[in-house]
Structure 1
Amino acid sequence: MPTLSFPILIFKTRNKRDDYGARDMRYGDLTAAQLISQYRLNYVSDIVDPYTLTRRNSMNQPQSMFCCNLRGQSEKITRQHCSDLLFDEFRRLSRIFSFYGPYKQVIGKMITHMQYSDGKPFTDRLLDRALEEQILGDKSYDNSTRILITKAIESNINWEKLTYPIEMKNELSKAVSLGKLPKFDRLQDHYNGMGISVHDTWSTYITLKSLNIKHNRFRAEIHYNVQDHFGLDNDDIMNTRFSQFQFFRLWFVLQRYDQFGFKLFMTNMHTTIEISGSI
């Protein structure tokens, strides 16, 4: 009877990895007129006006009663200086969503990566740690892919021959499809930095690296390879849930304005966990 050989890919999402053509990976494709008229992004920063390359003062912010009369007094700056100031403000505003726990610094690193790394993929050991913590912390028998894979292996091992039949491989894929893939949409993710850094994910590949069966027990290694896009699409910025925050308005302009056009990047996370079970 043919049996599984390892490692073996047991699940992958429909979304492919490294999809640089995705809608949220677009950059530098919108004019100032489009950003203002179509997306209502006329005001995105308290520090500078990115469309006129002028530095604001306290008198030409919207809350000032003198704004209309004193706009001409604003200081002209270079495009480079303007983008530097916008990124500083971008990082500062991120603290609204990331102020507690071991992952609160990750979003700042990702913003800096967007500023200087020209679209190169991003990895960080804290993201890998957060992924592992999320997988191990999910105790739901209906949603946890870890628990569902464990139950599928238990149910389909040939316990007489101590092997896993190759024709039962699809049962592992089916088990994962019934659960909820690792995401960062829990309550704590709203303030620990993971919700703003990753939140949902784009693609997930799950590999069974090893399976050892002895007597009436088994032990296996499962590898999770997860990828997200650090970018916004049109639906994001048109959603009032996001557009009401200056943080997202500023992000969209840095990404999509044709005078800036900072490249987006892939966020890569991976972890290997151990599972075990018995007959």
Structure 2
Amino acid sequence: MISNLIAATYAPMHNDGSLNTERIKDYTQFLIRNHVAGVFMNGSTGDFTSLTIEERKAITLAWSENKSDDLYLIDHVGDPSLKVAKNLATYAADKVDAIAAIAPFYFRLNSIDKLIEYCKEIAACAPNLPFYYYHIPVLSGAHLNMASFLEQAKDKIPNLAGIKFTNNNLIDYGHCKSKANSKYNILFGYDELFINSLPLGANGWVGSTYNHLAPLYYKIKTLFENGDMEAAADLQSKAIRFVEFLDSNGGFNGVAKGFMKVLGVDCGPSRFPHTTLTDGDYAKIKKTLHDMGLTPWFSI
């Protein structure tokens, strides 16, 4: 069962906006060096909605070609088209360690029965891989109770491994943890509430800022375990300020992707509608983040 930090990874691109999958070799080593335990590729952070099917497959292949025992690979294959999602799941079946799928987000699901039907068909395309439902209702519109989903899906999706729980509903998260009973892996996916997940028993997290600030989050976990809540809360506040500051400079997704170059992994520009800043902009951002006390906590 995967635990610790899992980075929601970016789709590396050349300056012309085409994929630069050669960058994934260095990206892999960067994450391992920072003790990141896994990768969640082709997700929201990875701009999957801005990629073609073939580009998503190219990213899956590149990560699989750089596979390491030190990095667990979860490939997000969800799509508004069930046919496309099944195609991507079939492609990933012999390349990664697990697959995940978000609910359809144009014609949205309004019942757990429909969600189970959707997940069951996708999971069946890679029956030997663990399957995670990607719960992010603010984007999918599937505002469904996840504890009820686990209860109703347990006998219908044989390879259901758990949930990537990207929601601030800590009550539902806590119920999911209780339902899990060690059978399911409930990966917490809300970086700004990392510290809040710890008393609820979280032991696995998926998020974009684990690319940038992995040492900070591991320190929060250590401080919490040692009972130093004040210091842990101070570091969580720094992580929140990181998100808020980058977001204020043109939108978090695009600006945070470009910031990876400052850390030594050039992921290139972002696709529309995300913002791509200049090197000069990032020099100013780096200075401000240094003044905030974040430099010692950067992944390197």
Q: Under TM normalisation by the shorter chain, which class is it? A: under 0.3
TM-score, normalised to structure 1's length? 0.22
Q: In terms of Rg, which structure is larger?
A: 1
TM-score, normalised to structure 2's length? 0.21
More strand by share: 1
